[in-house]
Amino acid sequence: MKTKITLLLSFLFLGVNYVSAQDEDSSTLSIMSEYAKAKNYDAAYKPFMELRKRNPNYSRAIYVYGEDILEDKIEKSSGAEQAAYINDLVKLWEERETHFASKTPKGEFGAKACQLMYDYREVLNKTDEELYACFDAAYKADAETFTNPKSLYTYFSLMVDLFDAGKKSAGELFTKYDEVVEKVDSEVANYSENLNALIEKEDAGTALTSKEERYKKSYESYLNAYDQISSSINSKLGSRANCENLVPLYTKDFEANKDNAVWLQRAAGNMSAKECTDDPLFFKLVNAYHNLSPSANSAYYLGILKDKEGKTSEAIKFYEQALSLESDSFKKAKLYEKIGDKLKARGDFGSARAYFRNALKFNPSNGRPHLKIADMYNRSANNCGDTNFNKRAVFWLAADEAEKAGRVDPTLKSAAAQTAANYRAKAPQKSEIFSEGNAGQKINIGCWIGASVTVPSL
């Protein structure tokens, strides 16, 4: 009987202690959170550290607010003290993964840790090799969640720096370039698909909800960021990816990779992008790729070869085959745009416009086809109209098309607005409209354009 009473009292005592500890943790978390929400990070630091040490798996809020608290400490410190806070933030993310693994994606938080160390590399005395190894480990651990645009650029930039220092080979450089570019394209495709759904809803005359408006701004922000780093990645690679470098590299590696469809596709893609298609190696790459893995890409490259031979009708057949083989809307849009570019370059504006419009159909948030159509209108002004006024009216069409680019594509708002303004400056002005007496009237534009434009009202 006495034993039972003793055990009961022990359990009650433990229960009281447990409740007391829980109350203490809850109180500490509340104090930390209130200070952190008010951005009083100095006051939040002590309860944060206490709870982090005492009960690290109590709440994910420890790590969410702790990140803000330590970032504030890093910003306000310097030297050895700053280095200590930086290392502690990296440690905090590691602790978060230990206690809340399902809420701590390895790629995302690994990239954050590497980026932090890169940003403060001088304080931490980190070498390019150490930093690249950090990013590479995070990417290989979880490429799916390694999506931060800045970190993707830093990752590739370090590879280029190591290549320039003779510590990475040309093969490693171009393989990493392909991987990062494909990753960026994948993220752009995802955000474009989400944005397209909202654009289509707006075009149908349905107002977006406040939540959808926030999502739209977020998608546009990410697309802007990816557009900027895409340009930066290509600028960083620069002349290292010219025909003089690509041809010897791919020639040397061809035999070892002639049965590797991914390698062949990347090699052919890079040679096409860098206008190395006149080299016989391009012919070898394309045919090997098409024989091994017939696809939209291989058919497109065969079209390029036929174009080089001057066999336009055969080239178009391959381009159309490429389109029929591609089921992904984003990739299909890119193919339509590429084919439109080739038709535009040879002066077949009517056909090019049809391809550009199909590109817009499959990816309406890409404004580039609008700008390309506008440019063709601009170039055709002198040839499409029976009077000087009507010829210059074409510039209104060009301006309208350019403005569409800015409306749908967040990466082109500024460029589209400036381009449209330039076109409008070349169109008839108010005094000329007054002299013609045709304000508000519709003008039919002939030749390949086959459209009409309304003269602005005075």
| CA–CA gap between residue 352 and residue 337 (Å, rounded) | 9
Q: For residue 19, is pLDDT > 80? A: no
The more confidently predicted of residues 107 and 16 is 107
What pLDDT does 436 receive?
87
pLDDT band at 224 (very low <50, low <70, confident <90, very high): very high
The alpha carbon dihedral of 390, 392, 396, 401 has a sign of positive
Summarize the confidence of residues 81-99 as an average pLDDT: 98
Give the Cβ contact number of residue 181 at 10 Å: 20
Backbone angles phi, psi at 419, to 5 degrees: -65, -45
pLDDT > 90? residue 328 = yes
DSSP 59-120: -THHHHHHHHHHHHHHHH--HHHHHHHHHHHHHHHHHHHHH-GGGS-HHHHHHHHHHHHHHT
Whether 181 has a pLDDT exceeding 50, the answer reads: yes
Q: Angle between the 128-141 and 149-164 helix axes, to the nearest 10 degrees?
A: 130
What pLDDT is recorded for position 1?
Answer: 54
First to last CA, the chain: 104
- Examine residue 240 and state whether it is found in any structural domain, yes or no: no
Residue 13, pLDDT score: 47
Torsion of CA 66, 68, 74, 75, to 10 degrees: -160
Number of domains the chain is built from: 1
Binning pLDDT at 50, 70 and 90, where does residue 458 land?
A: confident
Cα angle for residues 153, 158, 163 (degrees, 5° grid):
125
Q: Answer whether residue 261 is part of any domain.
A: no
Question: Would you place residue 2 in the very low, low, confident or very high pLDDT band (cuts 50, 70, 90)?
Answer: low
Q: What contacts 353, CB < 8 A, 6 or more positions away?
A: 340, 373, 376, 448
Please state whether the predicted TM-score (pTM) of the whole model is above 0.85.
yes
pLDDT digits (tens, 9 = 90+) for 243-257: 999 999 999 999 999
pLDDT for 9? 44
Mean pLDDT for 365-373 is 97
Position 239 in a domain: no
Q: Where are the alpha helices (DSSP H) in 204-242?
A: 210-237
- Torsions phi, psi for 440 (to 5 deg): 80, -5
Dig out the tokens for 88 from the structure.
Answer: 């502690």
pLDDT of residue 14: 47
On the question of pLDDT at 6 being above 80, the answer is no
d(CA 392, CA 93): 61
Q: What is the pLDDT of residues 34-82, one digit of tens each?
A: 999 999 999 999 999 999 999 999 999 999 999 999 999 999 999 999 9
For residue 405, is it within any domain? yes
Share of the chain above pLDDT 70, in %: 95
Instruction: Give the tokens for residue 83.
Output: 């280095």
Q: Are 155 and 139 in contact (CB under 8 A)?
A: yes
Q: What pLDDT is attached to residue 23?
A: 84
Residues 401 and 387 sit within 8 Å (Cβ to Cβ)? no
| Inter-residue contact 322 to 300 (CB < 8 Å) | yes
Instruction: Give yes or no for residue 448 having a pLDDT over 70.
Output: yes
Q: Average pLDDT of the chain?
A: 93
Is residue 162 assigned to a domain? Answer: no
Strand partners, 292: none
Token digits for 307?
């174009």
Q: What is the pLDDT of residue 12?
A: 45
Inside any domain, residue 438:
yes
pLDDT of residue 385: 82
Contact assessment for residue 292 and residue 261, using Cβ atoms and an 8 Å cutoff: yes
Model pLDDT, residue 34: 97
Using 50, 70 and 90 to split pLDDT, how confident is the model at 4? low
Q: Is residue 287 in some structural domain?
A: no
Beta bridge partners of 452: 444
Computed on alpha carbons and rounded to an integer, the radius of gyration of the chain in Å comes to: 30
Note down the domain range covering 434: 364-458
pLDDT > 90: percent of the chain: 90
Is the pLDDT score of 381 beyond 50?
yes
Within a domain: 375: yes
The whole-number average pLDDT for the span 368-382 is 97
